[in-house]
Structure 1
Amino acid sequence: MRFKFKTSVAVLAASFALAAGPALAEYPERGITMIVGYSAGGGTDVMARTLAPFLEKYLGGNVSVTVENKPGAGGELGFTAIAEAKPDGYTIGMLNIPSFINPMIQRDPDYDIDSFAPIGNIVSDATSLVVRTDSEFETLEDFITYIKEHPGAVPVGNSSLGGATHTSFLRFLNPNDLEVTHVPFPGAAPSRTALLGGHVAASVMGIGEAAPLAAEGQLRILATMRKDRWSEAPDVPTFTELGYPIVAGSDRGLAAPAGIPDEARDKLAEAVAKIMDDPEFQEAARKQSLPLNYLAPDDYAAHMNDTYTQMKAIWDKNPWIEH
């Protein structure tokens, strides 16, 4: 009887251990790394660093979220790092649409759409046509009139060849038979610097990046590719209201490597949904000129696939780089 009693205790102890195991391993139990495929100080990096403390707040458990910058190849190095990370929920990252999609159209990168588990879109930074305040171009029509008379003569900066601002601008230029000289830079910051320094006549950049400088009187935003006017820049007209129906820009959201456990993905998605409703986060985003636009995981995934179809059609008609 004594031997049987010891066996029963051992079995009971093992049962308690098994029951306690999942509780001890409940996600998240350690720090999370958030990969950004761009340098510090750009729009995506600012968004990630604004988001991080709120992720910590809503994930709970004293978890820390660390932003890790992996710039290069128009964001592709960072996107690849997210796709190839261990799918345990402890490495996540920012995806930019269409920037992470365009390499799949141009060539064969080390990822595809199915390499990622979408968590939620957070910001939609509409591409905007911007000039210096001393520019001869007062309106979008001024710009169009001039480039019609001087095709290919106007240098226009963008943040990368085949990137969000460049391909958005093509969606305006190509159907209207307009031609400029595209001047790519390795990111939004150097493109903005070139415009301020007078090295290009205009630039295409996110309205969230342009609006603060416009408010300071350094830049003039001729038009934005938002669906409607942005409350933070109410005097800026949309391309659509000016007769050019296009909505485009850089959508910035959160994703994890495909294969992440459902529990981790659900907790991350729930946290992002709560963050988007948090007045403190909304105010922080407003101060950083981040145009918020939440898409839940399924809608975010659908947007990725829709954008791929749209960008593929543009590429098939008029490739933005030689191939």
Structure 2
Amino acid sequence: MFNAILVEKDNEAYSARIAALSDSQLPPGEVLVRVAYSTLNYKDGLAITGKGPVVRSFPMVPGIDFAGTVEASTHPGFAAGDPVVLNGWGVGEQHWGGLAQKARVQGDWLIPLPDGLSLKQTMAVGTAGYTAMLSILALERHGLKPEHGDVLVTGANGGVGSFAIALLAALGYRVVASTGRPQEADYLKRLGAADIIDRSTLAEPGRPLQKERWAAAIDSVGSHTLANVCAGIRADGAVAACGLAQGMDLPTTVAPFILRGVSLLGINSVMRPVAQRKEAWRRLAKDLDTRHLDEMTREIGLADAISAAIDLLKGAVRGRLVVDVNR
């Protein structure tokens, strides 16, 4: 038997609880993993609370990422004892996920533990840091260099935002952080932000074309914020869009794209090919100053994750929550 968060829906009654499950209840898969750590992401918060239509079938074990050790495998790429990491692939939404002491998944969804990172460190980074790195890689492919100018990061106090700031600063960029919590300015500056702006300056409807302020941006907010970000990007700059904390809508015009040549780069962290995943994790191990991880993360136990999900959706969580599923 093992413990897991189990999300259930009976007619209109939605619930999440800690349940004792058996290996036989796990879904089919080639690799059985003894999970060491998972995380609590925004999507996990929606899944646990039912505040968004994240879960596609019931019952469901949430948790869109995990790190652990292979217990049994029929996949040629993995053997018992191998340390592994998983992000995305619909885990925690369509397939039982990582907020559990065990998970059974397809082998092609896993990658080996990146050199230079521990199991706990990979989940301190988690899908948030992985998404931030995918965003940076997309901007680099677009041609972005530090000498081009400031890079804006929205949702700066969240997981993606915190990692984006730390990574960009380490790579030599001047970073502007947008946050709704100005009291956290010192934290953001310790991560590497050179300037702080209040998110309220971006969150309301604005002009379709505004003063050119930033060479590029990483946006995890969407809606009016993303529209205003696009309107303030310099000519031939780019925005990596990777989240929807404010909303799924994008109330903008074509003006930034056809008058300034701004590029909007969509970041899908869920269904990336293995080669791209390995490259993102290789760069994370190389570029991230792991000394930031202690300040950017807080460890909780599996039993704490349900209440923490509520705080997460309220915007009351700074940085990352690492879940030790064995306590």
Shorter-chain TM-score range: 0.3 to 0.5
Between Structure 1 and Structure 2, the one with more strand by share is: 2
Between 1 and 2, higher relative CO (CA 8 Å, sep ≥ 6) is seen in: 1
What TM-score, normalized by structure 2, do the two folds share? 0.32
**Structure with greater helix share of residues:** 1
Instruction: Kindly name which structure, 1 or 2, has the bigger radius of gyration based on alpha carbons.
Output: 1
